[in-house]
Amino acid sequence: MNQIKFNLSDKTSKKITPDMVGLFFEDINFAADGGLYAELLENRSFEAVKSKGENHNYVLKEDSLYAWKSDCGKDDKLEISINDAICEKNPHYLRFTADKAGEGFTNKAYDGISLIKGKKYKISYYAREVNYPEGSVKVSVTKDGKTYGYVTIAFNNGKNPPKEWMDTINVVCDTKEWQKYEAEFTAEADIKGALFDLSLTAPGSVEFDLISMIPEDAVAGVFRKDLFEALKGLKPSFLRFPGGCIVEGTSISRRYQWKNTVGALENRKINTNLWGEQGGNTIQAWETQDCHYMQSYGIGFYEYFLLCELLSSDKRVCQPLPVLNIGVACQFRTYQVVPMDSPKFQNYIQDALDLIEFANGPVTSHWGSLRARMGHPESFNLELLAIGNEQWESGVVNLGERYKAFEKAIHEVYPEIKCLGTAGPFVNHPFHTRAWDFYRKECEKNNKFAFAVDEHYYMAPDWLYDHVDFYDNYPRDVAVFAGEYAGHDANLSNSVESALAEAAMMTGMERNGDLVQFASYAPLFNRIGHSQWTPDLIWFDADKVVFTPNYYVQQLFSEYAGVQALELDGQEKALREKGIYISAVKTADGKKVLKIVNRNKEDADIELDFSGCAEVTTLAAKNGLARIPAPSAAINQDNSGNKAIKPEVMSNAKLCELRSVEASEVKTENLKVDGKITLKAKSFTVVKF
């Protein structure tokens, strides 16, 4: 066992932010639709598109009946129409004809619906009569011929007019107009992998659109409860959204446009998801399993702002941090840009100004009034705005000039907004250095030019261990935003080893907490069996949530944040030579906190000049020593260095199994410390006293 001496000083070295740890949300791995968004149905508005292709070469084809089938084998009874839709932004809807009572259609609902006995579920849809003079609509959840919950909903035809349409002169109901229906049912038993079934109780023809099924316990009627609680447990200080490459799109026309994501659901223009095209570092092919991956925008910009409020706690406020498109499509996937001398470029700047008005403006303003109509007359108190995702200066993209145009326009109207720049997707590339040189030079002339610069790194654990001092010698003139980072082990899995390397790196971030203002792990979510990228912070399926060791690292740094760094007098450098990584802080209530990583395969005793009671929390592998990650069949590196596999090698579900989360546990004890703390092998330990 290693014996290590450590002298903890009472001297503080610098003020640091206690609000460094936050969240980065991008709709990848079914993080929104099929994930945090509580909607259980897939392609509820019949706007699905089949997307396939590879970089700079994509094919998109309408596939409006994706996820839907006739429940009696008569798919010709399902017709897609675009005549007089509810909203022309989403023009497709379904016309269904039943030849006899009881015929209907089903939705496969991602991997099937999971019900919990006694739990209530809300149903809604729009319907319009074609020829249905009698009968009702039955909605049920079924599997193998058995029903596990249902509700029968009266249909507003000429013989059953809605009450609000009846008056003293008996005006006849016009049932040839769209009407909204809402109901709920209670699950009669637990079930997994079931189908959603909608049927007519009499022969006839009816048109349907925006069919929805959401659990009654969805937070704010929007967010899946268990996934929301997983985020709440991190006590985040900010939420960066909506991406990521999602912001840019595979083309300018498919970019993320926030104005398409607000207002009534039926008016939100549904979009494809670039992560359904070719994939990321998992299954990669011309046509992937999840080639119908869409963005319904059930979670749009209003919901992101709302989520920030809901994630705020007594401990800290979760600040919204939107990311804006700067007229550039994803540089990894296309060369499309909007020229700065084009009138269209000004639309992007106006979108930024309008977003600030939507978030903060008075209810008398155009966009502030929309926020109020959506249910939030109060300001969302937006202070931070990221200009661009991970663009870099190139022969096609003039990043610096674009940033200048946005910053100038924003600060002329909203000088209080803190703008954040981007240093590109890699920290070990010359464009990263050039970007920093640009921001620092401009900040010498205007100290409000850039509040922070966003940098990303997905690196092997050894790189993180070797770069714990990464920020020690950074100039202090512009803050750092570590907007996307993760330890990528040899199998791209959520291993204890990757988590420990991240914890080690975060000790360096925390020691430099005067500089590193924000840090967020990426990606956030992974629906098991539908991965475009691993590792990820939280894994889940239809009815369970899996916390990764990486999640616990983020949680511990958030929970035990400090307001001042304590002087280490170079001891941290000597300890790194022994495989020990440490930070020491003083908390707002005057306590001291040590965060210590032991990357070694054996325990270590660390001698402290302290005796008394301490709160000691340890993260380690659940069953003995952490495994040594090694490449598996789930890794296939191509000639370009991309770690992705072909779909014919294995299924996405098998890939997730091979890259699965290593079991870990967190244990907190109140211990009597008599000058010594034992660090378990391959562990992360937090000591508060």
Residues with catalytic roles: 390
Strand 294-295 versus strand 271-272 pairing type:
antiparallel
Closest CA to 644 of 288, 391, 251, 331: 288
Do the Cβ atoms of 563 and 15 come closer than 8 Å? Answer: yes
Do the Cβ atoms of 468 and 459 come closer than 8 Å? Answer: no
> Can you tell me whether residue 633 is helix, strand or coil?
coil
CA dist 484 and 260 (Å) reads 26
CA dist 122 and 186 (Å) reads 9
What are the two backbone dihedrals, phi and then psi, of residue 491, each rounded to the nearest 5 degrees?
-110, 5
User: Which run of H or E residues covers position 345?
Assistant: helix 343-360
HSE, CB side, 13 Å, CA atoms: give it for residue 610: 23
Do the Cβ atoms of 86 and 175 come closer than 8 Å? Answer: no
Ramachandran quadrant class, 457 (left: phi over 0; alpha: psi -120 to 50; beta: rest): beta
Closest CA to 37 of 222, 217, 216: 222
Provide the 8-state DSSP code for 527: E
CA dist 208 and 199 (Å) reads 11
Closest CA to 331 of 386, 391, 253: 391
> Can you tell me whether residue 251 is helix, strand or coil?
coil
- Using only the alpha carbons of the chain, give its radius of gyration: 27
Buried b (16+ CB within 10 A) or exposed e, 135-172: bbbbbbbbbeeeebbbeebebbbeeebeeeeeeeeeee
Do the Cβ atoms of 140 and 197 come closer than 8 Å? Answer: yes
Q: How far does Cα 30 stand from its chain's mean position?
A: 9
Provide the 8-state DSSP code for 328: B
CA dist 461 and 522 (Å) reads 15
Residue 312 CB partners (closer than 8 Å, separation 6+): 318
